[in-house]
């Protein structure tokens, strides 16, 4: 499966023809799906836009996967923002970490379940991509956690607790829309204790990691290695997917690339695609904050064609 990762794509300035042009081109290239970010911002201001976006993807012959973004500070996605609900409900904040929701707090659990219930009920999405679970091993001394465990849990208990939370949340979505294709990926910096156990969640079809292929910079500062190379996470991906009975996933982070790193990006991506074939591969559609967006996009599409991921 080949998916185009689309972050905050036309949900504020809404030009449906742009979606149709891009989605039609992706279909012609051999893409199977688009992944569309959906945060509290979309839930507040872009309900109609997201409905049109999903409809357009389907009309262009693509599946539409939703990326639940930044909810409770417990997932990545777009846009980069704090959880508005959590700001207004401080009783659900992790002590000392107000940007993170306590997954044992009943008001938060009710809210996030309502959020996801709305997403999968109101929109005919074909799947969910859980994007980079955050702080799965953080120990909570929130009153709700102390009540649940009778004490401060261990790091391993905290991670097991998050696996249960994520499994229950996904199960709710599957009850509403049983045909959903569910993918989870993490950063390879996440604890292996968590990722290996999360790969056993029965509702997931694909598990894996994201990673980059070149040095990054955000503006004019010197480029630096902000993250591991995606290929370095492949052995772990295969091992965890085999253990959990899942198919493999990988997300190419083709973003924040300065022009001076183009040759490295092209070489490393070519090497990766020549050796590794995830069951589900995703690449960013015009990745975030590249110095030369058209050039990186062209390099990415050319590499996918060369290695027969795309036409």
Rounded-to-integer distance, Cα 255 and Cα 293, Å: 9
Q: How far apart are CA 169 and CA 63, in angstroms?
A: 22
- Pairing outcome for strands 247-252 and 33-38: unpaired
Distance CA 144, CA 172 (A): 22
Whether the pLDDT of residue 310 is over 80: the answer is no
- Say if 84 falls within a structural domain: yes
Using the predicted structure, report yes or no on whether residue 229 has a pLDDT greater than 80.
yes
Quick check: is 143 in a domain?
yes
Percent of all residues in the chain with a pLDDT value above 90, rounded to a whole number = 99
Q: How far apart are CA 80 and CA 106, in angstroms?
A: 25
Does residue 29 register a pLDDT over 80?
yes
List the CATH number of the domain containing 193: 3.20.20.80
Does residue 169 lie in a domain region?
A: yes
Confidence of residue 99 (pLDDT cuts 50, 70, 90): very high
Query: What range defines the domain where residue 9 resides?
Result: 2-306
Question: Could you tell me if residue 210 is inside a domain?
Answer: yes
**pLDDT value of position 311:** 74
Asked if the model's pLDDT at residue 72 lies above 90, the reply is yes
Q: pTM for this structure? A: 0.97
The tens digit of pLDDT for each residue in 180-226 reads: 999 999 999 999 999 999 999 999 999 999 999 999 999 999 999 99
Beta-strand ranges (E) seen in the chain are 2-6, 33-38, 63-68, 93-94, 97-101, 127-131, 181-186, 206-211, 247-252, 280-284
Residue 281, φ and ψ in degrees, nearest 5: -110, 135
Domain contains 222: yes
Q: What is the rounded average pLDDT of the residues 152-158?
A: 98
In a domain, 311, yes or no: no
**Which residue do the tokens 């979309």 mark?**
42
Count how many domains the chain has: 1
In Å, what is the CA distance from 72 to each residue of 11, 89, 124, 229, 278?
A: 21, 11, 24, 28, 30
State the pLDDT at residue 309.
86
Residue partners of 21: CB distance under 8 A and separation at least 6: none
Q: CB–CB of 125/119 below 8 Å?
A: yes
């Amino acid at each position: 499966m080949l998916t185009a990762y689309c972050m905050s794509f036309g949900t504020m300035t809404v030009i449906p023809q742009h979606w149709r042009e891009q989605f039609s081109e992706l279909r012609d290239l051999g893409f199977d799906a688009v992944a569309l970010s959906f945060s509290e911002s979309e839930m507040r201001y872009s309900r109609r836009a997201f409905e049109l976006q999903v409809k357009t993807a389907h009309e262009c012959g693509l599946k539409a996967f939703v990326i639940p973004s930044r909810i409770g500070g417990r997932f990545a996605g777009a846009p980069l923002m704090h959880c508005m609900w959590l700001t207004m409900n401080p009783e659900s904040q992790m002590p000392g970490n107000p940007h993170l929701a306590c997954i044992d707090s009943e008001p938060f659990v009710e809210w996030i379940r309502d959020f996801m219930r709305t997403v999968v009920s109101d929109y005919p999405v074909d799947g969910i991509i859980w994007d980079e679970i955050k702080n799965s091993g953080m120990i909570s001394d929130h009153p709700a956690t102390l009540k649940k465990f009778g004490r401060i849990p261990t790091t391993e208990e905290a991670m097991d607790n998050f696996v249960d939370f994520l499994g229950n949340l996904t199960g709710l979505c599957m009850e509403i829309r049983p045909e959903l294709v569910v993918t989870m990926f993490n950063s390879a910096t996440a604890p292996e204790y968590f990722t290996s156990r999360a790969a056993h969640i029965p509702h997931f079809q694909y598990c894996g990691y994201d990673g980059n292929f070149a040095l990054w910079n955000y503006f004019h500062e010197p480029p630096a290695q902000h993250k591991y190379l995606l290929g370095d996470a492949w052995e772990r991906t295969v091992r965890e997917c085999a253990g959990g009975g899942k198919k493999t996933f990988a997300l190419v982070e083709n973003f924040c690339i300065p022009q001076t790193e183009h040759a490295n990006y092209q070489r490393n991506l070519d090497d990766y695609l020549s050796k590794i074939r995830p069951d589900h591969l995703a690449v960013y559609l015009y990745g975030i904050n590249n110095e030369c967006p058209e050039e990186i996009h062209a390099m990415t599409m050319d590499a996918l064609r060369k290695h027969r991921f795309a036409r």
